[in-house]
A and B are shown apart, each in its own frame.
Chain A
Amino acid sequence: MAKPNALSSASLPYLLTAPGVILFFTMVLAPLLLTLLLSFYGFDSIAGIKAGFSLSNYWLVFSDEYFHSIFLRTFWVAGLTTLICILLGAPEAYVLSRMAKPWRSIFLIVILGPLLVSVVVRAFGWSMLLSANGLINSTLVWLGFAPFKLLYTTGAIVVALVHVMLPFMVIPVWTSLQRLDPTVAQAALSLNASPSTVLRRIVLPQVLPGILSGSLIVFGLSASAFAIPGLLGGRRLKVVATTVYDEFLGSLNWPLGASIAIILLLANLLIMLSYNRILERKYSRTLG
């Protein structure tokens, strides 16, 4: 038999997770810490980055009108995207859940499959559909209307973001629909409730956690989105992500870019935390 307990069972889990721990501490925690420190440094367009400790970057972001408009636009776009995703994604998940077996899997793959296609390809596809001589405008012209400016607008960003984020809403709503107990709905129907009442008073309350979960994911991802605003918003419509890119790779003002990135990270963490908090409160109410 093998050597008795060369690896004692107590240290086995730590040995197994060691590669991951080393990787994540050096490649996630350490860089984030470095970035946090970087955000406190100063910057001079001639002298470059100066080490130090100052809150001037954060002060600039919070007080300057330019950054206000960027953050406002980012959250407005993210909020609108989330709302549309709820209105389209939740009913779609419901329709999918009521499909017969072969169709259900097929359409699940059709709706969710684009997740596995690179975001560049999808953004480019939308820029082709929405451009001045793209498909939509060509159809409008052919029907006798004047072409619309569709590309490089906030609307273009929202449409493409909805396209990318829809699966992230469908998945959690689908998951909560799967956990639904069909006998409750059947009981309600047998008591003479109309299908719409069943939908409103039985299905909807139980699907709400899924909608909430999806909303937070969609909002967080939309607020951090880079490729779609970059390709479809043009140079004038900046969002947080493209602004970070400009500071880091354009102006080379790394400290300022770092501070905006940290703010974005904190916003995302806040969203995740609030979701956990809301869930806890909801369940503590129902469970007494």
Chain B
Amino acid sequence: MRNNGPVSLIFHALIVAFVLAPLLVVCLVAFTPEDTLSLPTHGVSLRWFKAIFEHPDFVQSFYNSLLLALLSATLSLCVALPAGLAIGRLSFAGRDFLNALFLSPLIIPTLVLGVALMRLFASMGVSGSFGWLVVAHVVVISPYVLRLVLAAVVGMDKSAEHAAQSLGAGPWTVFRRITLPMILPGITGGWLLAFINSFDELTMSIFVTTPATVTLPVRMYMYATESIDPMMASVSALMILITGVAMLILDRVYGLDKVLIGQQG
């Protein structure tokens, strides 16, 4: 196919600049030595990064988010892996319905889910529980794991399995030693994607968290609506860093462009 002409490339450059602008600004302002939001034109300082550690509520929220993401990504694997194996490999009544059900959090606005879960938790009397917050996150991030597991399971070459079966291996052995290693990139990629999505989650979490269980994005949102100082920029820069590292690992394990394109397809 013909390559792009100069007009297309200028257009493309503008789009890239548009997409990166807010992220770049955040990372730059994070290093400002001034008291107000400004670019670090007169020097670079780490004062606003140090300031984060003087805010114990931010540090606590960071640990909350980290633990929450680790737990919910792992638990969502426990739900989505068997479901993905069943939906991808077996045919049974209700398969399409279950597929739609498990992917439904992608269609239901997280706002509505957040409100609905807040209602559920209130009527069960578990509003401040960290455990139930984990369960809420598992529901919201499971579709991402399921999609990657399904892609791995459906796209897998089954001839290795058939060969193992013909050599007398039982079903559990085939699964453990043939299937599982072959779909491992999909599983790991799904876990990482789930982790990132849980760590970033805001809209549902605003309704479901309480002052004891506040996550980092919620804390940032609350802070940003009250006051705006460069500490928000440094916290944001750290979040971008963490996301960037996770994206690098995801790229190594699975392929970042494959994951991103597959997101809606």
Contact = CB atoms under 8 A, between A and B. Distances in A.
Contact of A115 (B16, B29, B260): B260
B109 A264 contact: yes
Contacts of B224: 120, 123-124, 127, 231
Question: How big is chain A's contact interface, by range?
Answer: 35 or more
Interface residues of B, number: 91
Nearest to A257: B115
A114 interface: yes
Interface string A270-284: 001000000000000
B80 interface: yes
B85 A98 contact: no
Contact of B203 (A109, A124, A166, A227): A227
Given A127-B228, A175-B261, A268 B108 contact: yes
A16 B82 CA distance: 5
A114 B23 contact: yes
Nearest to A33: B116
A94 to B, nearest CB: 8
Interface of B: 1-4, 8-9, 11-12, 15-16, 18-23, 25-26, 29, 36-37, 39, 78-80, 82-83, 85-87, 90, 92, 95, 98, 101-102, 104-105, 107-113, 115-120, 123, 135-136, 138-139, 142, 170-172, 196-197, 199-203, 206-207, 217, 220-221, 224-225, 228, 232-233, 236, 239-240, 243, 246-247, 251, 256-257, 260-261, 263-265
16 contacts: A17-B87, A27-B136, A34-B119, A110-B16, A116-B197, A116-B247, A117-B240, A119-B217, A122-B22, A124-B26, A131-B37, A220-B109, A226-B110, A231-B225, A244-B111, A248-B207
What 6 pairs between A and B have smallest CB-CB spacing? A125-B22, A224-B109, A31-B116, A118-B200, A16-B86, A16-B82
Interface of A: 1-2, 10, 12-17, 19-21, 23-24, 27-28, 30-32, 34-35, 38, 88, 91-92, 95-100, 105, 107-129, 131, 133-135, 160, 163, 166-168, 171-172, 174-175, 182, 195, 213, 217, 220-221, 224, 226-227, 230-231, 241, 244-245, 248-249, 254, 257-258, 261-262, 264-265, 268-269, 272
